[in-house]
Structure 1
Amino acid sequence: MTHRSGFACFVGRPNAGKSTLTNALVGTKVAITSSKPQTTRHAIRGIVHRDDAQLVIVDTPGVHKPRTLLGQRLNDVVRETWSEVDVVGFCVPADEKVGPGDRYIASELRKVAKRTPVIGIVTKTDVAKPEQIAEQLLALQDVLDFEELIPVSAVDGFQVKRLEDLLVARLPEGPQLYPDGDLTDEPEQTLVAELIREAALEGVRDELPHSIAVTVEEMLPREDKRDLLDIYATVYVERPSQKGIILGHQGERMKAVGAQARQQIQKLLGTKVYLNLHVKVAKDWQRDPKQLRRLGF
């Protein structure tokens, strides 16, 4: 039996369902999902293990016309990723018309489509009518010359397996790249920081998502209790007024964020966690190269 192994990535404008699809294929939560666009900042990799293949999914931030240095960096991450994978999946939601953002991405993808196969994926079919899905498939044919077009729903699992087969078929023959059981090659601290950021994003107003960054300062087992992990993390915002929003009245909101993040981290790491969160202001960090570096961008 031949064994295939290689890399795929999903691209699309922010909130096109890329992270949810990654999680559905990998079968667990490796990419953070939020109803806020621009929540993915690192190319998180999820790994699909099969007897005949190993598919490594690189989840990229949504491509958009950048307004800040952070925006530019995010777009650079995406372009670097496109140039290194074996197959690209271009995600467009079934319930939204193909727009200028999609065309902008398609024009960028044309450059890689000559050497890398691109599959068109209509996502979120669970929230669209059959005729909407059909219209979207037709509309996409005019956008780019795709190798395949497929409608899927990560929520109810519609055609997720079929998409997996289409991606695997385009991987080169080769041995396993990661050990059995590995689901991601992201360092645990990065995943923990992302889960804290996801919890902090829930329920905040639109001006905040881009302004939140999280760093994990320390992560170590407690001396007297080996089954308890102490995690110290800092949530950075850009302005003092945002600090108030994150903390909430008498710190209530931050407590809720900590509780939610702790649950998710315990699930991820399979151990009890003590989570200590601090909020700090790093003035206009998105526009400052020095601060971007310090926060891991």
Structure 2
Amino acid sequence: MNISDPTGSELPESDFRCGTVALAGRPNVGKSTLLNALIGVRLSIVSPRPQTTRHRILGIASSDDAQILYVDTPGLHKGGKRAMNRSINRVARSAISEVDVLVQVIEAGRWTEEDQGLYQAMEGQDAPRLLVVNKVDLAKDKTILLPFMSKLLEEHSYAEVYYVSALKNKGLKELVAGIRQRLPQQAAIFGEDEVTDRSERFLAAELVREQLMRRLDQELPYATTVEIEQFQDRPDGVAEIHAVIWVERDGQKAIVIGQGGAQLKAIGTAARWHMEKLFERKVFLKLWVKVREGWVDDENALKKFGYTD
């Protein structure tokens, strides 16, 4: 469609596109790494543990012809006996119902019951479905991948398939082009310099929690959460942040603190370094560890700590 100017000549309608894209998948397929690669900023926290992502994270990628709003969703997983797990699954399911494009991320050579469950959840949506096969750089025997994908695509329908390595930034240009062409023609929603709608306060809590996921053993990271009690910019330009790490039991508190406070100091040092890179200013970070028994199964506690639909 063309529009006319007052002189009678026709002007081409802008082809600028803007829309939302859900990056969905089972836990630990690399959705957060993919988001960070697509927007060029280390926004979403990453660890080798499944279910590192607990919230819906919006990452904004702006260019001359598009603004793509990527939504990093928690991994949809089976089970969900605890209130926290149910909250995470609700967030994941909600995200895939409100976007312009659905991107299911899987791991090269693997298709699980959780992958199938997500596919079935996506089938009821009107948005086009794209399949991203991530971690192709780790698939040592490429001859196995071909028959795997052939069988998968016989039984599942996608508008397009993309083979990528989010960690090594391979295949992303083609993926972005495929996403862009499926977005609606409309003006940008956010400013060109914005990379998320999340506050620095929220991101600070996530960066502390990232270190808990990376540094604590076995199931302990899943019994922790982080609450920012104070975030203020001092006159000297330093961001002063006071954060509480909540655990469920006294024994867990001792582990997080470590002998002579060594573990807590290491967590704080690493988190502060990442905050200074992301916030682009000096950070003074103070951490405390407190106990709130059964917070993972307490709906009121989950709301207090920001776990809402």
- Partner in structure 2 of residue 147 of structure 1: 159
Of 41, 46, 60, which aligns to 2:59?
46
- Determine whether 1:185 maps to 2:187: no
- Determine whether 1:120 maps to 2:146: no
Q: For structure 1, list consecutive stretches of 5 or more residues without a partner in the other structure.
A: none
Of 15, 19, 25, which aligns to 1:6?
19
In 2, the alpha carbon distance for the partners of 1:150 and 1:186 equals 29
In 2, the alpha carbon distance for the partners of 1:144 and 1:239 equals 45
- Partner in structure 2 of residue 69 of structure 1: 83
> Which residues of 2 match residues 123-138 of structure 1 at below 5 A?
123-129=134-140, 130-138=142-150
Shift of the alpha carbon at 1:222? 2.4
User: 3-state DSSP class of the match of 2:49?
Assistant: coil
Q: Tell whether the 8 Å contact from 1:137 to 1:149 is kept in structure 2 after alignment.
A: no
Of 235, 258, 270, which aligns to 1:260?
270
- Partner in structure 1 of residue 95 of structure 2: 81
- Determine whether 1:166 maps to 2:178: yes
In 1, the alpha carbon distance for the partners of 2:197 and 2:123 equals 29
User: 3-state DSSP class of the match of 1:202?
Assistant: helix
- Determine whether 1:58 maps to 2:68: no
Q: Tell whether the 8 Å contact from 1:122 to 1:136 is kept in structure 2 after alignment.
A: no
TM-score, normalised to structure 1's length?
Answer: 0.95
Q: Tell whether the 8 Å contact from 1:94 to 1:132 is kept in structure 2 after alignment.
A: no
Check 1:161–1:209 CA distance in 2 against 1; reply closer, same or farther (3 A cut): same
User: 3-state DSSP class of the match of 2:124?
Assistant: helix
State the number of aligned residues.
292
Q: Deviations over 1:186-214 (max 9, x none)?
A: 11111110001001221311212221110
Runs of 4+ in 1 over 6 A off after TM superposition: none
Check 1:137–1:259 CA distance in 2 against 1; reply closer, same or farther (3 A cut): same
The letter for the 1-side match of 2:239 is L
Q: Tell whether the 8 Å contact from 2:105 to 2:133 is kept in structure 1 after alignment.
A: yes
- Determine whether 1:16 maps to 2:26: no
In 2, the alpha carbon distance for the partners of 1:143 and 1:34 equals 32
In 2, the alpha carbon distance for the partners of 1:138 and 1:30 equals 34
Shift of the alpha carbon at 1:143? 4.7
The letter for the 2-side match of 1:86 is D
Check 1:143–1:59 CA distance in 2 against 1; reply closer, same or farther (3 A cut): farther
Q: Deviations over 1:110-155 (max 9, x none)?
A: 111xx11110110011111322432442243145211111110012
- Determine whether 1:245 maps to 2:259: no
Shift of the alpha carbon at 1:172? 0.3
In 2, the alpha carbon distance for the partners of 1:68 and 1:217 equals 26
Q: Deviations over 1:211-235 (max 9, x none)?
A: 1110111111224x2x211100001
* Sequence identity (%): 36
Q: For structure 2, list consecutive stretches of 5 or more residues without a partner in the other structure.
A: 1-13
- Partner in structure 1 of residue 9 of structure 2: none
- Determine whether 1:230 maps to 2:240: yes
Give the aligned CA root-mean-square deviation in angstroms.
1.2
Report which stretch shifted further, 4-13 or 205-214: 205-214
Of 169, 172, 176, which aligns to 2:188?
176
Shift of the alpha carbon at 1:243? 1.1
Q: Tell whether the 8 Å contact from 1:90 to 1:120 is kept in structure 2 after alignment.
A: yes
- Partner in structure 1 of residue 5 of structure 2: none
Q: Deviations over 1:164-201 (max 9, x none)?
A: 11111110000011001111111111111000100122
In 1, the alpha carbon distance for the partners of 2:276 and 2:189 equals 27
In 1, the alpha carbon distance for the partners of 2:223 and 2:155 equals 33
- Partner in structure 2 of residue 211 of structure 1: 223
- Partner in structure 2 of residue 94 of structure 1: 108
Of 269, 274, 293, which aligns to 2:284?
274
User: 3-state DSSP class of the match of 1:276?
Assistant: strand
The structure with the largest alpha-carbon Rg is 2
